[in-house]
Every structure is written in C-alpha cells, then in structure tokens.
Structure 1
C-alpha cells in the first residue's frame, strides 16, 4: 500500500512534463494508496493551538502577573466555544523535561471542566541535523512527550520535519547531505518515535514547516519512508510553499490526524490570505473526522492582539464548517 503511494507521488511529479510534451501519462497510478479510513462522513471540530498566545505565554513565564498561562488559555478557548485546545509543549513548566504528574492531572481536569478536549501537544526536534546526537536527542524528547500526551489524553504529538535553530535550512543542518540521505535519517528517527507512540496510543503527527517539507508530495514521501501506522500528517496550511497550496493541502488531507490552520498561505501578512471556506471544503472532501486547530501568529504586526486574531479566525473557521457543502 505504501509502496503504491510512493509510486503515485513520484509519477505525479512527471504529469506536468507529460502534459507539456504530449507524452501519455497512462503509466501513472490513477489514485494514491488508500488513506486513513474514515467512517460516517466528515466531522470537523474547531480548536485552537496554544502557540497563538506565544507572546502572552512567554510574558507569563517571566512574570506570573502578566499574560496567560496554559490554564488561562483553556479558559479563553472555553469562552470562545472551542471544542479543544492544542497545548504546545514549550509552555509547560520545565520543558523540555516532562512536567510532574500533579501538574498534568490538574491541567487535564481544568480542561475537562471547561468542556475542552486536549487535541495534541508538540515539541521541537531536528531530524535533518548531520549530528546523530542531535537527532537522538529529538527522538528521546518526542518519546518523553508521547508519554506526557498519553497522561493528558491527547491523541497526537507534533514532530517537525524541518531544521531548527541555529540552522536556517535543512541543507545547512545536514552539511549539504543529499535529500535522499536526510529523508532516511528522518524516517528512521520518526519510525522509532512511532513505535513508542503505538505503545502509549499516541500518534506522531509530522508537520510540514516550509523547509525540508514544503510540498504535499514531499510530505507524503516522508510518511511513506517511515512506513508506520502510528506516524501520520499534521497539515500546516501556511507552509506548503508552492504555486497552489490548496492542491498540496488536498493531497495530504486524507493522511492527516491534526491541523494548523493559518491566516495566510505563507509566513507573512504579504502572503495570500487563507480562503477558509475553500479550505474547509477540501478538508470535508477528504472525509476528515477530528479536530481542526487554528493558529495565529504575530508575523511582525504592530499591535498584534492574540485574543482578537484568534477570535476572528476561529469565527471564520466555525462559520465555514457550518455553511460549507
């Protein structure tokens, strides 16, 4: 099944060439391998990613009288009418170490009392790094937070498929290794994480972040290389850097277990704004059933107010879910 998907991805890349030259494309498989099984039709549950409150959470970490903590984020999401909250690991006390169980129990109950599910969490990792120790550190971090997620009742842990600071690109991080070699490094690391995830009932959700993974075919090719049912896609709608990101989103959607719905189809306010109704139609056509978290970013906006922007984008998503075909 997964081999068929890789064959589809590779042959799909040749379709524009076939169209331009008049060569037949009949040798390409008609469809990719079967996606995640969905029953009962699409069912989208709007949610909020805590990273939207980055500045407020960082302010609170420095001064408890300022900003918001994760409990405050849950309160805001409940008042907003969100179905769930995605609690990014960076904002837990002691990160990257796991917080103590007493904190997790208290936060889990706090979210439950407000009618919120915890849709996921996430950490920083760099599996594009040439240094095996850096990759091993990322594996151990994800394993640790898989266990945190299990205690919280969260179904997914987000893993990056791209380079992290101090590196700016995967080529720099890998020492200019070939894409094939880097994909092997990443797949081996993600597979080890997925095995651990299976033990605890937590899916490793691999996020495209506009570096090593900047297209839908690249996203699926990596998952194909991992070849483990507990490793799937987290679709970041703002990080497919192609002429038609909606096509990439549509390609990856059948393999998604989590989302980050962004305000724009890029990394700045100069990028095209996301057509939320069009996006929701794409997600529904994939028959996705689950949480769809939004994530807003300051993107160097003066006077950025997370409460205002989250409320606005969440409202757009909720309205689109209610009115789309």
Structure 2
C-alpha cells in the first residue's frame, strides 16, 4: 500500500474522534461554535443631504461603514453625478477598488422609476434606464438592484389596470435582469402598494426568479406593521431597517426585538441595510440602529 493511500485511510479512521458531536476535541461537552450569516450594510439615502450637497462622497460613506464594522454599502444611483446616465467605468472601478481596500462589498444599487404613470413612453424610457443601470450594478459587483412600483396620479384608470401594466413592466425588467445576472427587486415604498398582500400578489404575477423583493419595514403603514412584515419576510431578498415604524399610520420607534425575531424565524441569512430618514446626525442614528439590532438579535 503506498504512503499517500495509507495516510488517507488513517485520516478517515481518526475522523470520528475529532468530529464527534460537532467538536474539534473528542469528549468536549461544549456546543459547536456558530455565527450568524447576516451581512450588514448602510443605504446611501441615510446621507441624502450630505451626498446631494457634496459635503460627503461615496468614499467617505465607505470609510464610515468600515469603521462601524458593517460588511457593505448600498450605492444609490441618483447620487452619481451623471444620473440617470450611466457613470463611466473609471468611476465605478475606483469605487470597487476602495471597497476592496476597506473589506466591504457593494451588493446593492437603486434607481428611481415610475411604472404607475399612464404614459407608456415614459415607462418605456424608465425600463431602458433600468436596463442600463443593471449593467452598472454588474460592473460594481452588485447582486441586486432596487426599482419602484411608482407613484402619482392615474386618472381614468383603476388600480387593477395600473397593477396590470406594472406587472408587465416588471416582467420586462426581470428579463433584462436575467440576461445581465443582477436581480431586479421591488421596494414597495408606500407609494402605490400599501399592504403586504398587494405586494405578494405582484411578486406572484411577475413570477420570475430574477425579480425580487426589498422589504422596507418603514413602508407598511396600515394595520399592524409587524404582522405585515412577517407576511413579506419569506419573500425578501434584502431588508431595509429604519428607525421608525408606523402603527395605523402613526410613527413610533422600531422594536428591534420584534424585527430580529421575524428574521430569525425565517432563517434569513442575507443582507440587512440600515437607512435613516430622521433629522439629526445620520452617522449617530445608523450606528445606534446597528448596535441596537445586533444586541436584539444576539439575545435570541
């Protein structure tokens, strides 16, 4: 028997000793070490006024995320200077390089579109813009891109008629998403779709694995928001956690323990992004949300 084969068989014979009960040392009564696979990000909109005024850049935002101990950053399209036009490759690649240096991912990008509009020409233009930004997302290394249902007047058309063309537009976006390899995901956003059942209905009608859901906990403002969040949780590809939640339309601080429990119950292992919409220092608010959520999750 050659030495390589003999060593292999010897290793296999010893394996149960070392792997027994999931421990590295035989006879140990300690539970195996496990860690959550949740990943944490921050959404650029938290720094809306700072990014819009030029007081802050994406690079500054990345440095803040790394210092806080986050895993990633969400780079929203409309903070690029050329938006809605596509940024040049050099701009995108410098962001990727900076993220690598800081040990961060860029899993998410987002654009602003309006599929509620009855104007077919306008909606077609938005679909083309989404197609372009899916390519931007791919170049950045993002796996998912946020799109909206839309908002505004639709005089002369019922909500059901609007939903029909929203589904058709989303299906076209999903087709491009599959071609490019980046999920196009709807953020419901309390603009046209207000309840979990409506959101689920749209997801089922679009019926594409390349069309997903970004669960925005602050945009479920009717009934009990925690029940609505729990309904949407099984469909979520990405989560936005905000500092406020709305109970029958009235804002109150989010109960992180309830959110953590819903995530745990659904065995969610993807990205959670923190987004602050309140007045005040966004760095302080995001840091507080992150630490509060971690503490609540670790208690479970």
TM-score range, shorter chain: 0.7 to 0.9
Cα 1:135–1:41 change in 2 (3 A) is farther
Partner of 1:57: 51
Post-superposition offset of 1:41: 11
Q: TM-score, normalised by structure 2?
A: 0.85
Partner of 1:155: 143
Partner of 2:66: 78
Partner of 1:227: 207
Partner of 1:273: 253
Q: Which has the higher contact order (CA 8 A, sep 6+)?
A: 1
CA contact (8 A) 2:225 2:246 kept: no
Partner secondary structure for residue 99 of structure 1: coil
CA contact (8 A) 2:222 2:246 kept: no
Post-superposition offset of 1:42: 6.8
Post-superposition offset of 1:69: 0.6
The answer to whether residue 298 in structure 2 is matched with residue 310 in structure 1 is no
Moved more, 201-210 or 42-51: 42-51
Return the alpha-carbon distance in structure 2 between the equivalents of residues 233 and 176 of structure 1.
Answer: 29
Partner secondary structure for residue 219 of structure 2: coil
Of the three residues 235, 241, 260, the one matched with 2:221 is 241
Deviations 1:4-28 (A, max 9, x none): xxxxxxxxxxxxxxxxxxxxxxxxx
Report the count of equivalent residues. 266
Return the alpha-carbon distance in structure 1 between the equivalents of residues 35 and 67 of structure 2.
Answer: 28
Q: TM-score, normalised by structure 1?
A: 0.78
Of the three residues 109, 114, 136, the one matched with 2:102 is 114
Post-superposition offset of 1:100: 0.3
Partner secondary structure for residue 56 of structure 2: coil
Partner of 1:27: none
CA contact (8 A) 1:44 1:321 kept: no
Return the alpha-carbon distance in structure 2 between the equivalents of residues 224 and 203 of structure 1.
Answer: 16
Partner of 1:260: 240
Q: After superposition, where does 1:21-32 map in structure 2 within 5 Å?
A: none
Provide structure 2 residue ranges, at least 5 long, that are not aligned to the other structure.
1-33
Return the alpha-carbon distance in structure 2 between the equivalents of residues 322 and 79 of structure 1.
Answer: 21
Partner secondary structure for residue 86 of structure 1: strand
Provide structure 1 residue ranges, at least 5 long, that are not aligned to the other structure.
1-39, 61-66
Return the alpha-carbon distance in structure 1 between the equivalents of residues 172 and 216 of structure 2.
Answer: 23
CA contact (8 A) 1:258 1:290 kept: yes
